[in-house]
Every structure is written in structure tokens, then in C-alpha cells.
């Protein structure tokens, strides 16, 4: 099982490599995210602490970790279609950077994500999640 401290450290490094991210928030649930976001402005990187499933066989058990990342920004009241599209564009660029960096780290084999494969990544748009934040989510298994 991956240490939550090591997971947070890996995400801190990702945040440092992507200057567009204003906040990194580690959570366990939707309610936890709402409480920790609490009106934060700018692009927020919300990461769900991984869950684990065992695979393999006796004597060769492997922990498969899965998590969700959200790249979201608070929508201001009275947002126009143009502003909404711009918010989605900004957050899409950031989620794409994260995806590419994670794939690069997996290829290098020297990160927590060394078992990540491209087919284990799924990205969806998000609208007004966590009490009014929009952007993108990424699920991944590694």
C-alpha cells in the first residue's frame, strides 16, 4: 500500500511543476472536498487519497491503487457562456499537463505511478461540483 505521506509528496511535486495550480487539496470524500475548498479562488487540484484492491496470487499479492484528481475552479455568479468556456479551457490545459507528467513518470519508472498505463486513465468534464466548482476530473489506476 502506498503511504499517504508519499502520495502527498508526489502531488506536491506535481503542483510545483505546474504554476497554474493555486491550491492542492487532499481529501477522502465529496463532503471533505467541499469543506476544504471553502471558497478558494483560482485553479484547485483536489486529489482523493487512493483506495487499494489486491490482485495477484498468494505469495505475490499486488496492491492496485485507484484515485481521482479534480482540476476545478469556482464559477463566479452570473457566468457567461464565454467565461464558462474559458474556465473549461484553462482547467483542461492543467489536467492535460498532469496526465502527461504522470505518463512520463510512469515511463521513467521512478515514481509512485510506475504501474500507470494510458488505458487506466479516464477524464471527464465536471460542472458545479463541490458546491460550485467546474473543470475536469481524472480517474486512474496504478
Per-residue model confidence as pLDDT tens for the chain (142 residues) = 788 999 999 999 999 999 999 999 999 998 999 999 998 999 999 999 998 877 777 878 778 888 999 999 998 777 889 999 999 999 999 999 999 999 988 888 778 887 788 888 999 999 999 989 999 999 998 8
Q: Which residues neighbour 27 within 8 Å (Cβ) at sequence distance 6 or greater? A: 33, 36, 46, 47, 48, 49
Query: What span, in angstroms and rounded, lies between the C-alpha atoms of 73 and 136?
Result: 9
Residue length of the chain: 142
Q: What is the CA radius of gyration of the chain?
A: 16
pTM of the full predicted structure?
0.87
CA distance 16 to 53: 30
Amino acid at each position: 500500500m502506498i503511504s499517504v505521506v508519499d502520495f502527498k509528496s508526489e502531488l506536491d511535486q506535481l503542483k510545483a511543476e505546474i504554476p497554474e495550480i493555486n491550491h492542492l487539496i487532499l481529501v477522502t470524500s465529496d463532503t471533505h472536498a467541499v469543506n476544504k475548498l471553502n471558497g478558494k479562488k483560482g485553479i484547485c487540484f483536489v486529489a482523493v487519497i487512493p483506495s487499494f484492491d489486491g490482485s495477484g496470487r498468494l505469495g505475490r499479492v499486488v496492491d492496485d491503487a485507484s484515485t481521482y484528481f479534480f482540476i476545478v475552479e469556482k464559477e463566479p455568479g452570473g457566468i457567461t457562456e464565454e467565461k464558462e468556456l474559458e474556465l473549461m479551457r484553462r482547467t483542461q490545459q492543467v489536467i492535460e499537463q498532469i496526465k502527461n507528467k504522470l505518463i512520463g513518470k510512469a515511463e521513467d519508472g521512478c515514481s509512485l505511478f510506475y504501474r500507470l498505463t494510458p488505458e487506466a486513465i479516464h477524464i471527464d468534464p465536471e460542472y458545479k461540483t463541490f458546491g460550485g466548482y467546474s473543470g475536469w476530473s481524472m480517474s486512474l489506476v496504478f
